[in-house]
Amino acid sequence: MSSVRLLIGTRKGAFILTSDGTRKHWDVSGPQFAGWELYHLKGSPADPNRLYASQTSSWFGQVIQRSDDGGKTWNPPGTKPEDLMGPDGMPKGESNMFLYDTSAETGKPLTTHQHYDGTQRPWEFKRVWHLEPSMTDPDTVYAGVEDAALFRSTDGGKTWRELAGLRSAKGHLWQPGAGGMCLHTVMLDPGNSQRIFVAISAAGVFRTDDGGRTWRPVNRGLKSQYELPDPDADVGHCVHRIAMHPSRPNVLFMQKHWDVMRSDDGGESWHEVSGNLPTDFGFPIAVHAHQPETVYVVPIKSDSEHFPPDGKLRVYRSKTGGHEWEALTKGLPQRDCYVNVLRDAMAVDSLDPCGLYFGTTGGQVYASADGGDSWAPIVRDLPAVLSVEVQTLP
């Protein structure tokens, strides 16, 4: 019988929640890496026991952790005795080293971005927001980082190299949003290994069609009339999250700072599908595992009031690819609820019926085993949830 494994990143550690395919009874284990911020954990589609985790701390910086046994044990890659020695006989310990590429042929021409005060600031690594393992190779994994850049490891996380061409896509115009200038979404095209989408706050969506060497902004149709002096600018839009169904990689959905958007041409153009949502501000967006036109968002009142409107926690579902949305409330608190759901904190499994999961800044993780019709909390009192991923296991 199938089972599911949830990988939960929180402000104070990681938790692993497991259930059989009924998704009624859950085992909760953790915290792993207690006391550290776990921005994201994700499993390799090619080897479900291979997990990657981003462990960070304002005190001690970035650590990358890897598990090869489904989360039972973890090691920072490249720190086992047999991994240690570099050519000079000294230990390498480079799994947490994210150096921006300044070589002449790649990143050197661009070393600054716009800061809040309009000055140019050099890129400075702060943390890994998102880890996206390759769909085919367990040792290949992408890391989206703050200050915004994309790194790739091809040795299981032991060493990282920046795909510096991304910063050439008008990087001097990117600037941090309130959460920092972070590359928070990495989407690999299942049908085209050369195509990758990334999303950056506050810069927008970018696409490569040559495996990460060159990139261009794909933000036409986005409008940010209250955030940008030029509402239709090429870059600068505060994209919160993008999502796709693997069977239709040209159809993208976006939760922007304000506006829920859709593209039917791989990001070449976008149009708004907010429709009848009570507010079109929010963070996560997800697509049903078996119905490519069924989309989920969690509306949040506004950019300064990061909680659900009217104190009612409602997931909204569109079965028409946007425009027409219905509130899903069964099992969710409908009074006095003032939590937020962050951009990486919603996931869908691939069972039938499709399961949905999201975590809140109040430490609840809610699950639905019926496509969102009804919900129940798995846990109620974790630290603030930063990320939720789910693995559907055979």
Least separation in angstroms between CB 116 and other proteins = 19
Pick between residue 81 and residue 118 the one whose CB is nearest to other proteins.
Answer: 81
Is 51:41 a contact under the CB 8 Å cutoff?
A: yes
| Region binding other proteins by CB under 8 A among candidate stretches 23-31, 89-97, 128-136, 335-343 | 89-97
Among 2, 49, 79, 392, the residue binding other proteins under the rule CB under 8 A is: 79
Q: Does 178 bind other proteins (CB under 8 A)?
A: no
Among 22, 99, 116, 211, the residue binding other proteins under the rule CB under 8 A is: 99
d(CA 165, CA 377): 43
Q: Nearest to residue 142, comparing CAs of 88, 81, 227, 208?
A: 208
Q: Does 153 bind other proteins (CB under 8 A)?
A: no
Q: Does 31 bind other proteins (CB under 8 A)?
A: no
Peptide bond into 109 cis (omega under 30): no
Pick between residue 91 and residue 311 the one whose CB is nearest to other proteins.
Answer: 91
- Residue 72: which residues within 8 A CB-CB, separation 6 or more? none
Site string for other proteins, 48-67 (x = CB under 8 A): ---------xxxxxxx----
Is 255:285 a contact under the CB 8 Å cutoff?
A: yes
Token pair, residue 208, equals 């490569």
Among 70, 76, 144, 371, the residue binding other proteins under the rule CB under 8 A is: 76
Q: Does 179 bind other proteins (CB under 8 A)?
A: no
Pick between residue 92 and residue 323 the one whose CB is nearest to other proteins.
Answer: 92
Q: Does 88 bind other proteins (CB under 8 A)?
A: no
Q: Nearest to residue 281, comparing CAs of 261, 314, 256, 262?
A: 256
Distances (CA, A) of 74 to 80, 96, 309, 391: 11, 15, 40, 18
Q: Does 35 bind other proteins (CB under 8 A)?
A: yes
Identity of the amino acid at 138 = P
Q: Nearest to residue 327, comparing CAs of 308, 348, 305, 346?
A: 308
Would you tell me which residues interact with other proteins (CB under 8 A)? 35-36, 57-63, 76, 78-79, 84, 90-97, 99
